[in-house]
Amino acid sequence: MNAPVECRSEHTYPQRPVALYWGGERYPVIAIERQWRDPQGPAFRVRTAGEQSFDLIYLEAVDEWRIEPA
């Protein structure tokens, strides 16, 4: 099974999401609309190639991603 979020990581993890998996489909990220620090970890609002927006929140304590349609 693929990881739910693919990220570019140079200095820290996660630095920049490049794709996400939702409903069994892979969605390339074409834009990061917003980036912030959630109490649980780094968070991103992204727009995919299909013009859908998602909030991606990395849960540092459990090393998992939470994906929510925005």
At residue 19's C-alpha, the angle toward residues 6 and 66, to 5°, is 70
pLDDT in tens, the chain (70 residues): 357 999 988 877 888 999 999 999 999 999 999 999 999 999 999 999 989 999 999 999 999 999 999 9
Say if residues 70 and 45 touch (Cβ distance below 8 Å).
yes
**Structure pTM?**
0.89
Structural domain containing residue 48: 5-69
Domain count, the chain: 1
Q: In the beta sheet, which residues pair with residue 21?
A: 26
pLDDT at 2: 53
The CA distance from 49 to 55, in Å, is 15
